[in-house]
A and B are shown apart, each in its own frame.
Chain A
Amino acid sequence: MGQRKRPGARGSLTSATPGRIALPARKSAKHNVCMVSDFFYPNMGGVESHIYQLSQCLIEKGHKVIVVTHAYGNRKGIRYLSSGLKVYYLPLQVMYNQSTVTTCFHSLPLLRCIFVRERITVVHAHSSFSAMAHDSLFHAKAMGLNTVFTDHSLFGFADVSSVLTNKLLTISLCDTNHIICVSYTSKENTVLRAALDPEIVSVIPNAVDPGDFTPDPSKRDDGKITIVVVSRLVYRKGIDLLGGIIPELCLKYPDLHFLIGGEGPKRIVLEEVREKYQLHDRVRLLGALEHKDVRNVLVQGHIFLNTSLTEAFCMAIVEGASCGLQVVSTRVGGIPEVLPEDLITLCEPTVGSLCEGLELVIGRQRAGTAPPPAAVHSRVRTLYTWRNVAERTEKVYDRVATAAVLPLDQRLRRLRARCGPVAGSIFALMAVLDFLFLLLLRWLVPDSLIDVAVDATGPNGLWTQTWKG
């Protein structure tokens, strides 16, 4: 349980968080930001909505933002989303779990073309699972652009795959200008995994749109108690635990109902449980939910249950609490930091502990001592907002813009020094090759031949201008 939060460590990390350091008071310049990640709409998930909401808030603040991702089915080429957010869906081969194949080189021509034509100053990559994000960091550094990386997930340290990913992360992050993590646990984890200087790691939590998640007690049926679970039905989300909880509690409480939204390979576990214990009328499986439907599902319940086995920052519990539900969750990863202790009941990730926690909450619900939904909502509403996230991210950009990008020789030296003699040398060679490839591309298609794109957003954005005019 190396990921568990230690109260002492938290204080010390907070003071060292550079995101909070007061910057010089001068008016910050506008940045041309390029968000790169394999995960973006129409794929659904936390990273996707994070990128979208952050981009929208940054556009509102007058920055120019574009998003680069890979093609999803027929959705390829260049699209505009609301308020002029330009999205490049690049035709790259998808390998596994929506992540692209990486060869370190083949994405360079396209990414370089985009960086040059959009006059990008800051490249912001998201999610350590995304090969494209790492590629873009690698290329941006070769091109001398400032880089920021946001890590959305936690990793272990023990098994072989984690060791390998951690090595790659070390290499990718050792010369990145700044890293953002979504919770202190995640920061701790990332600093340890990638052997980073904590100075350049900031913590900016995720946010929810409080307007989208408002409580509505009239929708719930107070004659029974409903437990809502909204998550992808995969191993990481602890669906096997859920399969153990359902029969045990249903046996004890005849008025208990489960409402489960989401889709995934572990759905079969829940279906079998439902059939084995004849719970068809009490366990409802809703299948994949659209984002706009989530709120309508949440308000039907009294208790929100999260059984994740690992989580960097759980947005789902914030959404649940914002809808006025009692939240029961496993005590893993960054979850303990997310909500104040009186709004959440934390349990160990075992069937027994979760049942105990749920029984406690059910008792509270029965006794009527649970806080009213409106009160919970009003407390949660101000906790996490996207504007706050965007403000803090903007500060990171300002700081990064003043930082110098390492020249090639220093990058090589740092790679050798930080990443060990073997991997460091290999990746130093890769960096050199990448740079040579870049020179070749610059010779074949000089920067002057790449047409500068017409801005939709940012200081000279056409969309923003028409709004003003």
Chain B
Amino acid sequence: MVLKIFFPQCCNRADSGLLVGRWVPGFDSVVVLAVIHYPFIPGQVKKYLSEMQSAIQLELTVLGSWSMPKDGQEGMDSFLKDLSTIFPQGRWLQLSRELGKRGFACQVIGRDAAVPPRGQPKEGGDDEKEKVIFIHYDQRKVMLSHLHPAHGQEPAAEGVSELRLVFQTVAQSQPLFFLDKYDDGPIKLTHWQSEGREASILVELIKQASVPMCLVLTWLLSLWTQLRSIRVLNMWPVRFVSSKLSTCVQLSHRTEHLQTISSPRRAQQHADFMRKANIFVSFLVDIALGLLLISWLYRENRIGRLANTLVPVADVSVHTLPPALSKKPVCLCVLYSARDIVLHVAKELQELLQWLMGAPAGLKMNRALDQVLGRFFLYHIHLWISYIHLLSPFIEMILWYVGLSACLGLTFALSVVSDIVALLTFHIYCFYVYGARIYCLKIYGLSSLWRLFRGKKWNVLRQRVDSCSYDLDQLFIGTLLFTILLFLLPTTALYYLVFTLLRLGVVLLQGFIHLMIDIINSFPLFAGGLRLFRPYRLAEGVKFKVLCEEPGMSLHLMMEINPLKLSTAVQQYRIPTYSCYPKDSWAALCKKLFVGDLIYPWTPLHKGSKED
């Protein structure tokens, strides 16, 4: 076997003394954590170590001796060997540096070996002597970094890994490193030391302030949740509507986030801490973006220009605009023009229907059915327009206040926009549903009559197609109906096609907005920043470099931290969100469209009911 010694870089030039560290259980390797310098009293060292041991819950031992030759110090050899009798160990390491050489020499003395082997262990190279690898590591980086499981496995499945144990040992023995070089004490240690904490006053103040802040937040949140749990709000129609409105969904999502942040418990696990930090940073960024949007919206010149560009689009119903356009607050102009766009869309739809009722694209339709469908839809549009007119005095006010929600964050503003789009295109949705229902019925009827044609029928109990003998009347009626349905299909299909395309446009727009919300909600900004500015904090693994190869010396490796890939970091620390956009594959979507199933921008109902 090969003995592996993990040696901190900072101890390279330490004065002679004792090595303190830990044997890694289960592996033939040892982690050196610090060097205790001469002179010391063995009793004090033992006491110090036992104190430390209880503080960090790891088995710390004196591993061996370290000798750094200096001018004038000779004849340490016998003294070092005697030390091993003071600190009894299974194996006693005796590391030494020589003046001209860069590498170390190492001697391992077994406890039961009566006569310790003489000379350099490398020279013999025979089997009895143990081979040694020195692995140098940067104590600070290893202590701060978090080793991620390789290939996305969960750590439990990974099994016991040597490197993981080494990282754990160094990270847990943090209290050992608090002892300062300049402290006056009975023992002197060499290990990694922080270079002081200049900015720590600010940090401490924030830390102090954060506790009451969290308490206040929790209290507010509990009020809010109580408000939400009022009975009236949990009745069926309210709950159904609120589960479909993206603003409400976003609101509950943010509440959850705030609850996570404001929980007074300290984050124990690395993942918990990262989650909190990610949510906090993304929350701050969201609000900052929202405020930016508001400040942009309320700057007059810009919004006036926007209104001017929007008004000509709505010139169909310009006459309905109030004459005192310029005197009103400018943001209201936007709302006016938005309403006009709605009316304009309705007008366009009317024209589209007129076109469909004629001979659209030169297609010859079934005139009677065409007229019926067209009138039906026209009447619907008429209803819609009158509804908008009725609503127009109030809609401005509602929208104006709703617009202020942007100060809660950009995501809120976007969700409100998405909801407004959904509400204002309600007639398109209705048309789509009617068209799809009629089309779906037709397809269903045709498919079952086609089976009748072939002497088959659908067996509901067994979920399969059986053969069946029909009598003559059934066949006659079935054939008649089949013909009628078949010849009426193109007309319905055309209406369905046109309204589906309109609906798809709306769904795409909403999907785009939801995608943006989702990205803002879920992007782990903190982890990304950490990866960019402190790459060693998120370690994917390690890499080794061969340091020096002097003949006759042990192998020296340098252990460096391999940072996580940016894409992996983003993927791993993604904040889980509700996903609003459908997860259907393209083929499934096409099939749904062809059969005439309804498509929604949100996830299908059964998923929502599962959560309930």
Q: Do chains A and B touch in the complex (CB under 8 A)?
A: yes
Say whether B98 faces chain A, with CB atoms less than 8 Å apart: no
List B contacts of A268 (CB < 8 A). Answer: 464-466
Say whether B447 faces chain A, with CB atoms less than 8 Å apart: no
List B contacts of A272 (CB < 8 A). Answer: 466-467
> What is the bound-complex CA distance between A272 and B464, given in angstroms?
11
- Closest CB of chain A to B273's CB: distance in Å? 40
A/B pair count, beta carbons within 8 Å: 5
- Closest-by-CB residue of A relative to B467 is A272
- Closest CB of chain B to A278's CB: distance in Å? 16
- Closest-by-CB residue of A relative to B468 is A272
- Closest-by-CB residue of B relative to A275 is B466
- Closest-by-CB residue of A relative to B465 is A268
- Closest CB of chain A to B203's CB: distance in Å? 54
- Closest-by-CB residue of A relative to B466 is A272
- Closest-by-CB residue of B relative to A269 is B467
- Closest CB of chain B to A109's CB: distance in Å? 32
List A contacts of B465 (CB < 8 A). Answer: 268
Interface bits B463-476 vs A (CB < 8 Å: 1, else 0): 01111000000000
> What is the bound-complex CA distance between A272 and B456, given in angstroms?
12
- Closest CB of chain A to B558's CB: distance in Å? 37
* Binding site secondary structure of chain A: helix
Q: Chain A: interface residue count, which band?
A: under 10
List A contacts of B467 (CB < 8 A). Answer: 272
- Closest-by-CB residue of A relative to B464 is A268
> What is the bound-complex CA distance between A272 and B465, given in angstroms?
10
> What is the bound-complex CA distance between A268 and B456, given in angstroms?
12
> What is the bound-complex CA distance between A400 and B382, given in angstroms?
86
> What is the bound-complex CA distance between A272 and B466, given in angstroms?
7
- Closest CB of chain A to B455's CB: distance in Å? 12
> What is the bound-complex CA distance between A268 and B464, given in angstroms?
9
* Binding site secondary structure of chain B: strand
Interface bits A238-282 vs B (CB < 8 Å: 1, else 0): 000000000000000000000000000000100010000000000
> What is the bound-complex CA distance between A92 and B466, given in angstroms?
37
List A contacts of B466 (CB < 8 A). Answer: 268, 272
> What is the bound-complex CA distance between A434 and B465, given in angstroms?
48
- Closest CB of chain B to A274's CB: distance in Å? 12
> What is the bound-complex CA distance between A291 and B339, given in angstroms?
72
List A contacts of B464 (CB < 8 A). Answer: 268
> What is the bound-complex CA distance between A272 and B457, given in angstroms?
12
- Closest CB of chain A to B457's CB: distance in Å? 12
- Closest-by-CB residue of B relative to A268 is B464
Which B residues from 442 to 478 make CB contacts under 8 A with A? 464-467
> What is the bound-complex CA distance between A272 and B459, given in angstroms?
11
> What is the bound-complex CA distance between A268 and B465, given in angstroms?
9
- Closest CB of chain B to A268's CB: distance in Å? 7
> What is the bound-complex CA distance between A268 and B459, given in angstroms?
12
> What is the bound-complex CA distance between A40 and B464, given in angstroms?
31
- Closest-by-CB residue of A relative to B462 is A271
> What is the bound-complex CA distance between A268 and B467, given in angstroms?
9
- Closest CB of chain B to A440's CB: distance in Å? 38
> What is the bound-complex CA distance between A39 and B465, given in angstroms?
31
- Closest CB of chain A to B432's CB: distance in Å? 38
- Closest CB of chain A to B343's CB: distance in Å? 54
- Closest CB of chain B to A235's CB: distance in Å? 15
- Closest CB of chain B to A272's CB: distance in Å? 6
- Closest CB of chain A to B459's CB: distance in Å? 10
- Closest CB of chain A to B70's CB: distance in Å? 60
- Closest CB of chain A to B443's CB: distance in Å? 24
> What is the bound-complex CA distance between A393 and B181, given in angstroms?
87
- Closest CB of chain A to B297's CB: distance in Å? 55
> What is the bound-complex CA distance between A268 and B466, given in angstroms?
8
Which B residues from 506 to 563 make CB contacts under 8 A with A? none
- Closest-by-CB residue of A relative to B456 is A268
Which A residues from 261 to 314 make CB contacts under 8 A with B? 268, 272
- Closest CB of chain A to B357's CB: distance in Å? 46
Interface bits B128-158 vs A (CB < 8 Å: 1, else 0): 0000000000000000000000000000000
Interface bits B110-139 vs A (CB < 8 Å: 1, else 0): 000000000000000000000000000000
> What is the bound-complex CA distance between A194 and B466, given in angstroms?
42
- Closest CB of chain A to B77's CB: distance in Å? 55
- Closest CB of chain A to B469's CB: distance in Å? 11
Interface bits A112-149 vs B (CB < 8 Å: 1, else 0): 00000000000000000000000000000000000000
> What is the bound-complex CA distance between A76 and B466, given in angstroms?
38
> What is the bound-complex CA distance between A244 and B464, given in angstroms?
21
- Closest CB of chain A to B505's CB: distance in Å? 36
- Closest CB of chain A to B18's CB: distance in Å? 55
- Closest CB of chain B to A160's CB: distance in Å? 24
- Closest CB of chain A to B237's CB: distance in Å? 47
> What is the bound-complex CA distance between A398 and B465, given in angstroms?
55
> What is the bound-complex CA distance between A272 and B467, given in angstroms?
8
- Closest CB of chain B to A244's CB: distance in Å? 14
- Closest CB of chain A to B560's CB: distance in Å? 36
> What is the bound-complex CA distance between A186 and B495, given in angstroms?
59
> What is the bound-complex CA distance between A166 and B388, given in angstroms?
73
> What is the bound-complex CA distance between A45 and B592, given in angstroms?
38
> What is the bound-complex CA distance between A285 and B80, given in angstroms?
85
- Closest CB of chain A to B463's CB: distance in Å? 12
> What is the bound-complex CA distance between A227 and B279, given in angstroms?
71
- Closest CB of chain B to A382's CB: distance in Å? 46
- Closest CB of chain A to B462's CB: distance in Å? 9
> What is the bound-complex CA distance between A341 and B182, given in angstroms?
107
Interface bits A68-95 vs B (CB < 8 Å: 1, else 0): 0000000000000000000000000000
> What is the bound-complex CA distance between A252 and B464, given in angstroms?
31
Which B residues from 464 to 497 make CB contacts under 8 A with A? 464-467
- Closest CB of chain B to A418's CB: distance in Å? 45
Interface bits A320-345 vs B (CB < 8 Å: 1, else 0): 00000000000000000000000000
- Closest CB of chain A to B594's CB: distance in Å? 24
> What is the bound-complex CA distance between A174 and B350, given in angstroms?
71
Give 5 pairs: A residue, B residue, CB < 8 Å, sorted on A: A268-B464, A268-B465, A268-B466, A272-B466, A272-B467
Q: Please give me the 5 A-B residue pairs with the lowest Cβ-Cβ distance, nearest first.
A: A272-B467, A272-B466, A268-B464, A268-B465, A268-B466
